[in-house]
Every structure is written in C-alpha cells, then in structure tokens.
Amino acid sequence: MDSRNSVHTTVSLLLLICFSVSGCRGATRPHVIFIVADDLGWNDVSWHNPDIISPHLDGLARDGVILGSSYVQPNCSPSRSCFMSGKYPYHTGLQSGVIYPLEPRGMPLSLTTLPEKLKEAGYINHMVGKWHLGFCNQQYLPTSRGFDTFVGFYLGLEDHYTHRRGGYDMRFNDTLYSEAEGIYSTELFGQRAVDIINSHPSDQPLFLYLSFQAVHGPLQVPQRYEDMNSHIKNRRRRRYSAMVTAMDEAVGNVRQALEATGLMENSVIIFNTDNGGPAHKVSNNLPLRGSKNTLYEGGTKGPAFVYSKKHIKKTGYINNQMIHAVDWFPTILHLAGVTPDRDIDGVNQWPTLSEGVISARKEFVYNIDESQAAIRVGKYKLIQGSAGDLNGWYPVVGSGASPTYVTGESIDFRLYDIEADPSEHFDLASQFPSIVKLMKRKLKQYRKSTVPAGNQPHDQRGNPNNFGGAWSPGWC
C-alpha cells in the first residue's frame, strides 16, 4: 500500500469513528426550533379554522406533520416544566397552577433541563420569550438552567408594549432590557430569533426555544394586523385573531432566515401551545369541551405540528397518535443523540413523528392534584373530582350563541371515550363500571409517586418596588 492510500484509509477510519462518537458530529445533528404559543386555542389556527390568517404556520404544518392528539397541561408553568424536564408536574410539585410573581419558588433545581442535556451534544442554546418557571433566585433563571442567551420575560399577563405588570419585566440575559420598552413583544421576539439564526455558526447545532407571549391577554396588536382581519366583526375576537396573524408573520420571518442561512436543510421545527385557549373569554376551542385551566380536552389538547425538509420521511398528513408535552424532552434528545435520564415520564416519539408508526405512548396523566385528577388509557379518559369550573362548550365570541354548561355533574368519577366522543358529551361511567374499576386502579398506582405541590404564600420581598421598579431575582 502506498502512502497516499494509507493516508486515505486512515482518514476514512477516522471519519467513521468521528461519526459514531457524539463529540465529533455536532454539525450533522439537526438544529431544533421549538416554538410555543401562549393560550392558543384548538380552533385558533388556519388548518382547523379558515377564518384565521396564519399562512406561514399553515404552510409548515401542511408540509410537515399536523398533530391531532398533542396534549399539554391546563395552564402555563406546568406545561413549560414538562418541556424542560420531561416529567409530569405531579412529579415535580408544579401540578397546582402557575408560578405567581410573588411566589418564592421555581422549577426544582434538582431537575436536569433540556438545554443542559443538549450541551452534552455541543448545542448552542438560545431562549427567546416567556419563561414562567421561577425567577426569585438567580439559579432559577434561564441562563442558569442551560441557555447560553435569553431575551424575554420572567412572568406572564403583562403589557405587550410596555412589558410591565406592576413592574418592568424584560431582560437581555440577566440585565434589564430597557431598550425593548415600546416594542410589540411578538415583533421583538421574532426579530431576536432572526438575529440568532443569522449569526449562528454553521458548524454547531442550534437549539432555539422561541416562546411567544402571543396570544395571551391583554388583547393588544399593531393596527395593521387588525386591518388584515377585518372580516371578523367582533372587536375582541378580531384583535385576538390579529395576534395570531402577528405571530404567524414572525414565524414566517424565522423560516425565511433559516432558508437564507442554509440552516433549514438540517432543521426540525416543532410548534406547540402551552395550554388550551381561554374559550370563556375570547379563544376558540370548538368542538372541544372546556377552557384553559380545566382538565377537559379544550384545556389540554392543543394545535401542534412538526416540520423538517430532511428528517421526516412521511409528511402532509394528520398524525392522531397520542403525544404528551413530556415527550418533547426525550424526542429532542434523541435527535441530538443524547440519552435522557431513566427517571423521566416522556417517551421518544421520533419514530411516530418521522415515519407515522404507532406511538410508544398508550396512556398518560392529564394531571394529579389534591382535589382533581385525570388519566388516559387507550381511548378512555377517567376524571376524578372537578375538572374545572369552565366546563362548557363555548361558542365563538360575537356569534350570538350562548355557552352550553353541564350542571349537576358528578364530582366522583367520570369516564369518556375520547376516540368516539372527543368533545366529551357522554359520561360512560355508569355503563362501564368494570372499565372505571380498572382505571381507578391505574390512577391509584400513579398517585403513589405524587410529590406534594410546592405552592408558596406570596412574599412581598419580591415586590418590584424593592428592585428599582423591575421584577428581579435575589429574594428567595
């Protein structure tokens, strides 16, 4: 063998070894763009509702895989903890509602987060938008939980322009971002995402967690988006729909940046919502029952899709396999070539998403709390206790129709066949007592691993007046 052949063989062997070892193939691993909308209802996207103007999201969804059975938690912080930890909230103490501004708590520091695990594969991790997983201690902040950069806000329910909720709440990394005041948050976050993509080094994998404030209240949007939705006559519904359109344009800009930089060829885009829409106010969850903050399908099943030019083999259809928010953690880690810890609740759904095979998930927990619980096993859903006060079917705001409520409903156990009755009209508990018995046994097993809820009394040490008028860490 001459020297040239020897060198060629050696290089080939080194390349083979390199592509089999995690530390050598960072550039071949897909860039992951994980987009989360806030309070987006089931029927607030154009692939479910033609009244909604969201052509960029619609194009990605229809060219990718639309998820017809993607589940989240009934409200914000619990869902976001699922994304970041791969664990059900009842296993992390986050099962009892959102983290309030003056609560001295956050997502437990004992949890290893998704971006922390992605660092093992050489990912550069950026977060843009809403955090809502605690801020009272520096260790709870995104930049302490695996993100290399953060532009966004800690709380929720703040003004989209002034970024205030009693105090100012917008940061660039850990520093107050006063330059953002007056800029509409959807446009601010969309531009930040574009800037990240444009400056990203091509030889390293990217994880971008783009967590929009849209379409959470207050209902605020630049007039040009409202003008685009003039076909919607009710003012509140028009503004809400216009907020979807604004978010859609931001996503379109992100897609354009990915295409222009060449990153799209090796990217996976995931779109999800953090909970069902507040249908009792302005969003549209039809035909699903219930609103945000309930364990009914309207509070827990959200619009979602995955898109990739390269990594998905079967596209252009609706995948109705069961997927839960905790599954994104191991699924994204699988894409990165990283093995998750064994104690998570999520399962890797990539074979289902990329090839359309049957989901590895056969059951999941909607939530388990002191006064309520719900689980799904196969096609059946069991609810114990109250599923939430907003338990009706809410018509579109401005339609003139009245909500349909259920009165006198049992607060013991209720059973629904979600495949045959996805809008939960028919309680089957009295007809199938043997199924109820089996599911009660399953629920009892789940309950054995429950961690007490970590809710805390409000602590005025966190008042923004103590920090120059801004919501800040350093008080717990």
CA gyration radius, the chain: 23
Q: Which amino acid is at 73?
A: Q
Q: Are 427 and 435 in contact (CB under 8 A)?
A: no
Q: How far apart are the first and last CA of the chain?
A: 69
Please report the beta strands in 289-435, taking only residues with DSSP state E, as ranges in sequence order: 304-307, 317-319, 323-324, 363-368, 372-377, 380-385, 413-417
The DSSP bridge partners found for residue 176 are 171
* Region for residue 421 given its phi and psi (left: phi exceeds 0; alpha: psi -120 to 50; beta: otherwise): beta
Contact 200, 206 (CB under 8 A): yes
C-alpha span between 229 and 241 (Å, rounded): 7
Give CA–CA dist 118/131, Å, rounded: 18
Contacts of 342 (CB under 8 A, 6+ apart): none
CA distances from 409 to 367, 382, 391, 427 (A): 20, 14, 10, 9
Structure tokens at 212: 């929009």
The Cα 14–Cα 298 span in angstroms is 53
Query: Both tokens of residue 244?
Result: 């979807």
- Write out the two tokens for 165: 């909720």
- Ordered DSSP codes for 378-415: TTEEEEEE---S--SBPPPTTS-PPPB---S--SSEEE
- The position carrying tokens 């028919």 is 426
Q: How far is CA 211 from CA 192, 286, 388, in A?
A: 12, 24, 26
In three-state secondary structure terms, 69 is coil
Classify residue 322 by its DSSP letter.
-
Q: Rounded to the nearest 5°, which phi and psi values hold at 131?
A: -95, -70
Active site residues per annotation? 76, 132
Tokens in use for 160? Answer: 């989209």
Which tokens in the block code for residue 46?
A: 């154009």
CA distances from 87 to 293, 306, 343, 347, 449 (A): 19, 21, 8, 10, 12
Neighbours of 382 (CB within 10 A): 22
Helix (H) or strand (E) holding 63: helix 55-63
CA distances to 73, 227, 342, 442 from 373, in Å: 12, 43, 25, 12
